[in-house]
Structure 1
Amino acid sequence: MVAAALRQDAADVATYARVLTVTLADVLPPGSVEVEYERSLSDRLKGREGHPSRIVVRLGERTLFLAGGGRPVAEIHHEVRGVVLSRDQVTLDVWVQALARELVAQADASARAAEALRRLVAGT
């Protein structure tokens, strides 16, 4: 159900950035979600942050990358103490499933994370 909730509206990096930074940011460990933005000259002049171009989610020994553009590019890294042991470029579906597994593992460890996942699945 978590994977379905993540997949339902997410065709682009901006949607995932919103879900991860707004819906789940308060329950994930601090610093586990980073969003990189591309800013045009217009964005800079108007003081806007731009649009999300890349998301990095660090949960346990997994680091999940999602880069935008015309077609999202997803990677999953297995890291131990800052050393990348494996790096796999995957489809968006595989990335979503891996993210869902990591979020469920976080929820197992935290009652607040479990409540946020319930809200995400319920769409509230």
Structure 2
Amino acid sequence: MHWATEYVGRRWSATGNGPDCFHCWSFVRWVQRVNFGRTVSEIPTPETLLDIVRLFRGHPELQRWRAVDTACEGDCVLMRQARYPVHVGVWVDVDGGGVLHCVQGHGVIFQSLSDLQQSGWNIHAYYRFQGSGS
């Protein structure tokens, strides 16, 4: 059984920090640490969409990730529903590939690229961890 299976169905929470409930960034941090041995910086939970955009643009954590054209197991997937990226998940190489992410109202789910699009998510970029602990 793939490691990602154990996460599907865990709850979403604005203040969640694992192991049973998460928000999208806390879920990425948890998976990177537990499954890939990578320490990823915390990002405070933003209150508005504008706060999210500002955090993604200016946070020093982004310097530890390199944009790549094709995702591999464990890469970070930055997503958007409109113009700006506001959501993040982890690429999983099963069933043709897809994103494991924690969504408000649903919790942790796995979605193929076509399922993501049907849910209104567009891939903004794939990022590969380049920092210490990789």
Q: Report the TM-score range of the alignment, normalised by the length of the smaller protein.
A: 0.3 to 0.5
- Please report the TM-score for the alignment, with normalisation by the length of structure 1: 0.33
When Rg is computed on C-alpha atoms for both structures, the one with the higher figure is: 1
Name whichever structure is richer in helix by fraction.
1
